[in-house]
Structure 1
Amino acid sequence: MKKENVVREKSFQFAIRTIRLSQYITTSRQEYVLTKQLLRSGTSVGANIREANNAVSKADFINKMGIAQKECDEVMYWLELLKATDYLNDAEFASIYNDANSLLKLIRTIILNTKRNLTS
């Protein structure tokens, strides 16, 4: 399986987790503003990866993956804020934060490898 397919599946599963976490926080903790931002950026990661898979050039692919990278990093920011303001406990935070960090590393690796292949 190609890395792009792995990242596509991981980002899709991550979006599902983000949606479920957002539903949980809005229902049980009555927090809406930060959760909306988390939901937007968490689902955007996978959407941009899907766009990257349909890129018209390597440069376009790198650009779309770069947007996915930024969105993934933004997810981590919102998660940190939700934890710092006690909307997430340690266990809730650690699980999804580790997934986000793992996804971010995978996206960065794909970008770096694609850039290397451009110069080879």
Structure 2
Amino acid sequence: MQSRTKDFALRSIRLFRALPKTEEARLIGKQYLRAATSVAANYRAVCRSRSKAEYFAKLSIVVEETDEALFWLEIMIAAEILPEVKLKSLVEEATELLAIFSSARKNTIINKKAMANSTIQ
């Protein structure tokens, strides 16, 4: 997943460079670039977590940043900054990453509750 999130960040940098040179594209592009590159950086931090609580907190940040990156891609399409066909593979990747990270976070919550219940009994 580290290489996959890093690849997502690099593809996002290339997308940013290819955006039209308009004010709205620059503004939305910067927001997207910040969120998309944050996915990789924060996932790397998840992998270095020192506790389950830290893992969950950092993974939550990854979920938020991935969702935000997906949002800005959707805005680029809706605002017709770039055609949907050019953004399709990045939208698909962001959607897949979001599903993976959301599932991992949900499983962390479920496991945390199961452990708490087992220590009570």
RMSD: 1.1
Residue 62 in 1 paired to residue 56 in 2?
A: yes
Higher relative contact order (Cα pairs below 8 Å, separated by 6+ residues): 1
* Percent of aligned pairs with the same amino acid: 32
Gaps of 5+ in 1: 1-6
Deviation of the 1:93 alpha carbon: 2.1
Note the alpha carbon deviations across 1:53-80, whole angstroms, 9 max, x for none.
1112111101101001000000111111
Which portions of structure 1, spanning 4 or more consecutive aligned residues, are displaced by more than 4 angstroms? none
- Aligned equivalents of 1:102, 1:14: Cα separation in 2: 11
- Aligned equivalents of 2:30, 2:6: Cα separation in 1: 18
Larger-Rg structure: 2
- The aligned counterpart of 1:116 is 110
TM-score, structure 2 length as denominator? 0.86
Deviation of the 1:90 alpha carbon: 1.9
Q: What is the aligned length?
A: 111
Deviation of the 1:115 alpha carbon: 2.4
Correspondent of 2:2 among 2, 8, 16: 8
Note the alpha carbon deviations across 1:86-107, whole angstroms, 9 max, x for none.
1110211221101100000011
